[in-house]
Amino acid sequence: MEMESSNSMTSFLLEFSMFPTSDECREGSSVSKQVAKIIDVIDKTGIPYQLTPMGTVIEASSMKEALGIVELAYEQLEGCERVYSSLKFDIRKNCENRLKTKIESVEKVLGRKVK
């Protein structure tokens, strides 16, 4: 088995959504207050992230770090009877700063900035 070099960077992009589905943690159909709690703790960690209308994308340097963010997010909703979450990973060795570079790559092909 080949060992990974200690100076190679692995990028763990994680796109996830997490929100309560139980009535006691929502205001009607809105979950903005609970999502705001999650975004606040993610922001305070200093990890690179991007909020989107359907979820949040973070870039971590390890699986442990990425899953730690998921756990931190869940801790904000622990008082809720039921919580929904969906996670998608894109793991790539020898890369970093992919929150920006993946978009820049598409913009380069298009020859223009995207919205």
In degrees and rounded to multiples of 5, residue 37 shows phi and psi of -60, -45
CATH number for the domain spanning 39: value is 3.30.70.930
Confirm whether 58 is domain-assigned: yes
How many folded domains does the chain comprise? 1
pLDDT value, residue 84: 97
pLDDT value, residue 8: 72
Confirm whether 115 is domain-assigned: no
Confirm whether 81 is domain-assigned: yes
Q: Provide the whole-model pTM.
A: 0.86
List the pLDDT tens digit at each of the 115 positions of the chain.
444 444 579 999 999 999 999 999 998 999 999 999 999 999 999 999 999 999 999 999 999 999 999 999 999 999 999 999 999 999 999 999 999 999 999 999 999 999 8
CA distances from 55 to 9, 10, 35, 72, 73 (A): 25, 22, 9, 15, 12
